Amino acid sequence: MENNKKGQQRKGGRAKDNAMQSPEIGRIQPQARELEEAVLGALMLEKDAYSLVSDILKPDSFYDNIHQIVYRAIVSLISKQAPVDMLTVVEELKKTGELESVGGPVYIAQLTEKVASAAHIEFHARIIAQKYLARELIGFSSEITNKAFDETFDVDDLMQEAESKLFEMSQGNVKKDVQQINPVIKEALQLLEIAANRPEGLSGLQTGFNNLDKVTSGWQNSDLIIIAARPAMGKTAFVLSMAKNMSVTYNYPVALFSLEMSNVQLVNRLIVNTCEIPGEKIKNGQLAPYEWEQLDFKIKELYDAPLFIDDTPSLSVFELRTKARRLVREHGVRMLIIDYLQLMNASGMAYGSREQEVSMISRSLKGLAKELNIPIIALSQLNRGVEGRTGIEGKRPQLSDLRESGAIEQDADMVCFIHRPEYYKILEDEKGNSLLGMAEIIIAKHRNGATADVLLRFKSEFARFQNVEDEYNADGAQFMSKMSATPSAESFPPMSGNDVVPF
C-alpha cells in the first residue's frame, strides 16, 4: 500500500511538472463565438455591411468551422454580385453541399436573429480579427517551442523560420485606413510652404550634390531609390560621399547597412574620403608628417556625426525592418542606405527562384519606406548586358540591365545609374569635352519628376564623388592647408602612382 502511495505521488509529481511546463494546457484558445454569430447575422441583414469588414476578416478569422463555411458562402455571393440574405446563403450552401454540415436552414435563420442591425459590425469584426491573430501567435510559439526541444532541427534554420513567420503575420496585420482628402491637402500645402521658405527651394533631404538636388528636390520621404551600376563603378563610394555630406554638413541622421564590407572597412573609406589621404596609406600607416596633421585636423568632421553603421552579413528583411524601426524611434534616423540589395535574403521564406525572392525584397523595402516615411536607398548590381554593347551610348546602363528582377524597376520610385565613361576607355564625349575623372548619375526613372543626367567629379584616389564646380575650390583649399601647415615643400613630396588606389 505504501509503494502504491509513492507511485501515486510520483505520478502526481510528473503531472504537476507537465502542467507547469505547458501553461497552455487547460486553457481555451482566444475566441468570440457570439460576436462571430452577430457579424454573420448582420451581413445577411444589411446589403452594405460586407464593405465594412472585407478588409478586416477572412474565412480563417472565424474560430468556429461552421462560421468559416457560412462566411465563405457570403464572400462567394459577393464575388458574383448576388444579393446576400438568409435565403441566398442557404441556396449557396446547397450548391456546395455544405448546408447540412452547418446545421441546415434552421441555423442560418438563427444567425439572423442574433442581431438587430449592422451598427457595430466593424467594431465586432476587429475583435474577431484580434482573437484570430492571438490564436496564430499561440500556434506559432507552440510549434517553435516543440522544434527548439527537438535536437534534429538546426537552430539557425529555426531562427530563419521564426523570422519568416513573424514577418508574414505582421505584414498581414498592417492596415491603413482610407483618408478623406482634406487633411492630405493640408499636409501637402505645409510641405510646399516649407520648401518655399528654404533658400535652396528643396522639399526633401539634401545630398550635397547640387545638380542632383535640383532635379530631385532632395530625397523624398517614403521613396525607394535604387542606385545601380556595374562592379567598380563606385556605388559604395557614391553613397558614402552622400552619407558624409548629409550627416556632417546637414546633420541628418543616416543609417548605412553594409552587407559587403565590415564596419572598420567602411570607416577607413570614410577617412580616405574626408581626409584626402590615399587608401593604401591608411592601410599600411605610412603617412608623411603633413598627412598625419591632415588626418588629425579633418577627421574631427566625422566625430559625433549622426551616421550609424551596421555590417550584419546576409541581412534578412525582417531584421532590417526591426533595426530600422528602432533607429527611427531612438535616433530619429532620416534615411536608410542598403549596400546592396542582392546580398539580402527574404527571411528564410521558400521561393521558386532567386528572381521571386528579390521581387519580395524590393516590395518589402518599398513598404518599409512608406511605413517609416523616410527615403530608403538600395544599391543594386547590373547584369552583363552593358559589357556586350559597343559605342559611347551602348555602354550607358538601361533599366533592362537591372539584375535578377524586373520588380526592382517596378517598385522603385527612382532608379539612378552610375556611369563612368573613363572606365570603358571613353575619354571624350561627342562634343570633344574631356571625360577624365567624370561620372554621370543617370536618372532613368523618376516617378514624381523628370529624368536627367547629372555630372559629378569622381576622385578615385579618395573614393569620393563631388560637385564639378567644387574641383577648383577643393584643390585650392588642400594646397593652402598644406602650405600653412608645412612651409617647406620638401615636407610633402608629390605622391607616386603607387599611392592611388582605385575603389
The single residue listed with the C-alpha cell 517598385 is 411
DSSP H or E segment with residue 338: strand 335-339
Among 220, 264, 208, 156, which residue's Cα sits nearest to residue 414? 220
Whole-number Å distance between alpha carbons of 353 and 392: 34
Identified catalytic residue from 91, 122, 168, 260: 260
Contact 256, 307 (CB under 8 A): yes
The b-or-e profile of 56-79 (16+ CB within 10 A means b, else e) is: bbbeebbbbebbbbbbbbbbbbbe
Catalytic: 355? no
Distances (CA, A) of 377 to 12, 140, 264, 334, 390: 61, 33, 21, 11, 30
Among 416, 46, 31, which residue's Cα sits nearest to residue 216? 416
The CA radius of gyration of the chain, in Å to the nearest whole number, is 31
- What are the residues facing 307 on neighbouring strands? 254
Query: Cβ-count burial of 336 within 10 angstroms (0-12 exposed, 13-18 middle, 19+ buried)?
Result: buried
β 452-459/438-446 pair status: antiparallel
Whole-number Å distance between alpha carbons of 293 and 140: 59
DSSP state of 64: S
DSSP 73-110: HHHHHHHTT---SHHHHHHHHHHHT-TGGGTHHHHHHH
Contact 74, 53 (CB under 8 A): no
Whole-number Å distance between alpha carbons of 218 and 228: 18
The b-or-e profile of 361-396 (16+ CB within 10 A means b, else e) is: bbbbbbbbbeebebbbbbbbbbeeebeeeeeeeebb
List the grid coordinates of 159: 531562427
| Residues carrying an active site annotation | 260
